[in-house]
């Protein structure tokens, strides 16, 4: 509620923290729902991140090129995403809230499937990204529930950050690796101490 102070207005109480985001979220979700045929593409892209490359999207989605490009063009005309670069092979959601709205509409099981598909695509087809962005691959593996494998990549990312004296980044990566290992089932029988210990950290 606003109180008229003569030359200005003052809030009678604090603005609810979630009022504006919730309203925007609902509006964006409704907008995505109006584009049902292309909503899936937006959700796959949202699983990659706010910024995404066409090639990775294509590899993760498995969609035919014509259908995928048509969907991206429709999303662009709807002003939900924007194309970057002359070749228009890189895209971004116009706003972080658009990405969040698309991603939040996914069932948890579908999110797991998509992150697994993205991680697999990166490992199989984008080897240059593996070394350049180890934390990206580790993130998708974590979200896919492939925790033991994710831990290995978090550890490697942490070691690289330590070598660059990026201590805060290194601590964050190593903490994620420890958290990932904490979620790995321990009921599996051990057949050999040395081989089991080394494979726990092997992302291959």
User: From CA 64, how far away is CA 72, in angstroms rounded?
Assistant: 12
Entry pTM: 0.74
The predicted structure's pLDDT at residue 145? 96
Low-confidence ranges of the chain (pLDDT < 50): 1-20, 188-204
Q: Which two tokens stand for residue 181?
A: 């290992």
Could you tell me which CATH number the domain at 19-104 has?
1.10.10.10
* Tokens describing residue 66: 């014509």
pLDDT digits (tens, 9 = 90+) for 99-138: 999 999 999 999 999 999 999 999 998 887 788 889 999 9
pLDDT at 22: 64
Angle at 105 between CA 42 and CA 36, to 5 degrees: 50
From CA 140, how far away is CA 61, in angstroms rounded? 15
Please report the pLDDT score of residue 115 as a whole number: 98
């Amino acid at each position: 509620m606003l109180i008229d102070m003569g030359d200005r207005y003052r809030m009678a109480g604090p603005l609810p923290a979630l009022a504006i985001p919730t309203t925007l979220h609902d509006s964006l979700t409704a907008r995505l729902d109006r584009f049902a045929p292309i909503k899936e593409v937006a959700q796959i892209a949202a699983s990659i991140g706010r910024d995404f490359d066409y090639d990775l999207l294509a590899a993760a989605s498995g969609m035919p090129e014509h259908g995928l490009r048509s969907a991206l063009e429709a999303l662009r005309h709807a002003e939900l995403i924007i194309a970057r670069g002359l070749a228009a092979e890189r895209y971004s959601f116009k706003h972080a809230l658009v990405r969040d709205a698309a991603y939040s509409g996914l069932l948890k099981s579908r999110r797991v499937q998509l992150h697994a598909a993205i991680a697999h695509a990166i490992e199989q087809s984008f080897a240059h990204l593996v070394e350049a962005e180890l934390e990206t691959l580790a993130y998708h593996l974590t979200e896919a529930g492939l925790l033991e494998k994710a831990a290995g990549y978090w550890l490697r990312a942490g070691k690289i950050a330590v070598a660059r004296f990026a201590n805060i980044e290194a601590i964050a990566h190593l903490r994620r690796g420890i958290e990932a290992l904490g979620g790995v089932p321990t009921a599996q029988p051990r057949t050999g101490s040395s081989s089991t210990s080394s494979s726990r950290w092997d992302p291959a």
